[in-house]
Structure 1
Amino acid sequence: MSEQIENPTVAVLLPCYNEEITIGKVVRDFRAALPNATVYVYDNNSTDRTAQIAAAEGAIVRKEPRQGKGNVIRAMFEDIDADVYVMADGDDTYPADAAPAMVAKILEGYDMVIGDRLSSTYFQENKRPFHNFGNRLVRASINGLFQANVTDIMTGYRAFSFTFVKTYPVLSRGFEVETEMTIHSLNNNLRLYEMPIQYRDRPAGSVSKLDTVGDGIKVMSTIFRMIREYKPLPFFGGLGLIIGLIGVILCGTVTAEFMHTGMVAHFPTLIGATMLVIAGLLLIITGIILDVIAKNNRKTYVIDANKLAYLKRQGR
């Protein structure tokens, strides 16, 4: 349990791209739900009146020229200092009235609160069946690899602590950033809390920026990359084991033939099988070495997070 913060500062972060139909209502709702919070709208090269409407409703509007949600979140996390951060989308799909409870959980000591759409209304409200399938696939893949039980891996409605925001390395450029956040949290054993929320689909006239196929491929490639980086022993060790076993089986066939005939009639097979066994062993050794590095990186992350938390307490 973390120490209680008196008069905590709260920042509402709204990354936006062409959301003039909904952004005014979203800003009003969050200002009503969190009257003491500062609402930030980061305009990501919108061609409509998103920025003007947000500013008229009392939000602080900033520009982010690098296209992509990951780039916007990176800028937000670099620029803004607060005790608690609430991040949502500007499309009015997430309920602002859930924000106070999410803030309260962060103040209790959680590193990240996840607004869980999938336990409530997401599959009824979302009209894109491939998105539903993608959410289930991503959830099963990550929970299986990290022995976790996170329900909503890809939600855009989250709350964060100061320490999480300032120690999280945003590497993704697009919508795959939410998946990256979840994997980062599971890998570093952070304190997560899932809070079911009432998701609603976009209102009429509001257009989703998601590319089902393109963004789905990016999400899966992000999972593949992060498994390779965070779970190198299962990744390289498993691959090495498969390749090595193929080599051993091929060697066995050549050996059996030699036992019967006293001759090695298939030298190319023997040479190829030997190379496969060596390659498999090298991959397993690579996995062991990278696993040690990954564990050291996790230790470094914990030390850095503790230092940052200490410095923040000293600065109060």
Structure 2
Amino acid sequence: MRPKRTGTAIVAVLLPCYNEEITIGKVIADFRDSLPEATIYVYDNNSTDRTAEIADKAGAIVRKEPRQGKGNVIRAMFEDIDADVYIMADGDDTYPAEAAPAMVDKVLDGYDMVIGDRLSSTYFEENKRPFHNFGNRLVRSSINSLFGAHVTDIMTGYRAFSYTFAKTYPVLSHGFEVETEMTIHSLNNNLRLFEMPIQYRDRPQGSVSKLDTVGDGIKVLSTIFRMIREYKPLPFFGGIGLLISVIGLFFTGSVAIEFWRTGMVARFPTLIGAVMLIITGLLCITTGIILDVVARNNRKLFIVECNGFAAFRHVHINSLPSLPGVDRREEVDIKS
């Protein structure tokens, strides 16, 4: 049975920004209208325009993050900010703020991450960059095939998170590949995901995308490669080992057939190399088995950590005194 909700949820809107002076004011105003009780945070990532100034005048809490890259900004946000629900969006006015209340409700219903699905609605009509569209399809198909999932939008920047997710998710990426990392992390650890179709719109005129199609695409693919190696070591190393072993067996078989026909082994270097290939392949398979056990144990430890973290927060919140005239955010500040 789902426990009853008590009090008002603390919602934080997180807007990582780099040179978004054209759109940031409207984005803040839109989220203020959709989530009037939420606190809006703008993390300025070394902007050279008036992004921070405009955000401050619009009523957002503005903070600086000197480490360049969206992944670094999100890491700082999750470390600094405490809330029941986190809404993460971009400051480029491509995501609809009116979808945020429904995303908040889904997190309060128990989901760890809610994904704002662009690809099921207007993304391919609004986004005029064919290589970006191709990249989205490639990443989606590869990850879903590997993890046996059905996630539609792997790389969307519009998401909602629970407190436990924000505090236990290890942000390793530095740049835009962080969204892909989030999705793979969630699938690997069997977290509760919910996809919500949203109406995507392209950047308004004068607003320039910070994405580098080739450079960021390579980073995303390298992130997928790294996380497959770490999260799925048995298919990764086992597949490599099986391929190497098959090649070794092929050359060994050719030498064996020649020996059966002539009674002589004329190609000793080929035989030695083939045996070494077989041994190497078997070592790769063994490595995959060992690392797979380690990965499974890591997933078990992650679940235990999340359960303990959630229990600690539940006890901490329930132990706060109920002060008349003070909302929950103020109560947390007083208690701490």
TM range (shorter): over 0.9
Tell me, yes or no, if the aligned pair for 1:120 and 1:197 is still in contact at 8 Å.
yes
Aligned partners of 1:207 and 1:77: how far apart in 2? 27
What pairs with 1:80-229 in structure 2 (closer than 5 Å)? Answer: 80-229=81-230
Count of residues in correspondence between the two structures: 316
> Residue deviations 1:44-100, cap 9 Å, x none?
000000000000000000000000000000000000000000000000000000000
Residue matched to 2:307: 306
1:245-256 correspondence to structure 2 within 5 Å: 245-256=246-257
Alpha carbons of structure 1 residues 191 and 29: separation in structure 2 relative to 1, 3 Å: same
Contact residue 84 and residue 162 of structure 1 kept, 8 A: yes
What is the root-mean-square deviation in Å for CA atoms of aligned residues?
0.7
User: In structure 2, what is the Cα distance between the partners aligned to 1:105 and 1:2?
Assistant: 13
Q: Percent identity?
A: 78
Query: What is the SS of the residue equivalent to 2:12?
Result: strand
Structure 2: 5+ residue runs without aligned partners?
318-336
Give distance in 2, aligned partners of 1:142 and 1:238: 17
Write the deviation string for residues 126-168 of structure 1: whole angstroms up to 9, x where unpaired.
Answer: 0100000000000000000000000000000000000000000
- 1:173-197, CA deviations, whole angstroms, 9 ceiling, x for partnerless residues? 0000000000000000000000000
Distance 1:175 1:5, change over 3 A: farther
Q: Find the counterpart in structure 1 of residue 35 from structure 2.
A: 34
SS in structure 2 of the partner of residue 42 of structure 1: strand
Paired amino acid for 1:210 = L
Question: Residues 238-277 of structure 1: matches in 2 within 5 Å?
Answer: 238-277=239-278
Runs of 4+ in 1 over 6 A off after TM superposition: none
CA contact (8 A) 1:5 1:107 kept: no
Match for residue 62 of structure 1?
63
Residue in 1 aligned with 2:288?
A: 287
Q: Distance in 2 between matches of 1:5 and 1:122?
A: 38
Q: Does the alignment pair 1:74 with 2:75?
A: yes
Instruction: Look up the equivalent residue of 1:217 and give its one-letter code.
Output: I
1:43 maps to a residue whose letter is D
1:127 aligned counterpart, secondary structure: coil
What is the TM-score normalised by the length of structure 2? 0.93
Distance 2:250 2:48 in 1: 61
Q: Does residue 297 in structure 1 map to residue 302 in structure 2? A: no
Residue 6 of structure 1 and its aligned partner are, at CA, apart by 2.3
How far apart, in 2, do the equivalents of 1:167 and 1:31 lie? 28
Task: Give the distance between the partners of 2:271 and 2:82, measured in 1 at CA.
Answer: 63
Q: Secondary structure at the match of 1:313?
A: helix
5+ residue gaps in structure 1?
Answer: none
- Partner deviation per Cα, 1:224-258 (whole Å, 9 max, x = no partner): 00000000000000110000010011100000000
In 1, distance between residues paired with 2:6 and 2:89?
23
